[in-house]
Amino acid sequence: MTTGRSVLLLLLLVLLSLSPACLSTSIGGVAYDGQNLSVQVTDARGPEDAALQVSVYRTDNFRQVEVTRQIFPVSLGQGTTVLTVPLALGEGTYRLNLYIIVENARRAGVIRDITVEAHGSAPLIGPG
């Protein structure tokens, strides 16, 4: 086997070994009720400890300013788990960067834009 084929085979094996970790966890729906952020996480591996990193940026006039960045310890079960974390946001437009971290490695991430509007006593959440 030539050196070029050996390197190509090694690269292919490395990519295959990394792909299950990337595909085993995903972030689905995200909802905000005015006090809590709910994040739907699907994990194929089963019970394991993880962390949910939530970075919130206020967006206005083509700028974004970080409002908060928090890391919450969570437990993921096999299948779909809904994680709920406290979050207080005022009226405005926000960008949420959400990451699932397992053993100091980012396993899943998603960016969502939301708009929080006052509507009586409860906030009205829009798609952003």
Strand partners, 93: 59, 115
Q: What is the pLDDT of residues 25-80, one digit of tens each?
A: 999 999 999 899 999 999 988 789 999 999 999 998 889 999 999 999 999 999 99
Cα 58 to the chain's mean position, in Å? Answer: 17
Span 5-19, pLDDT tens digits = 766 666 655 555 554
Q: Within the chain, what is the greatest distance between any pair of CA atoms?
A: 72
- Domains of the chain are 3-126 (2.60.40.10)
Buried/exposed 47-78: b ≥16 CB within 10 Å, e otherwise: ebebebebbbbbbeeeeeeebeeeeeebebee
pTM of structure: 0.74
Give the model's confidence band at 118: pLDDT under 50 very low, under 70 low, under 90 confident, else very high: confident
Indicate the DSSP class of residue 61: T
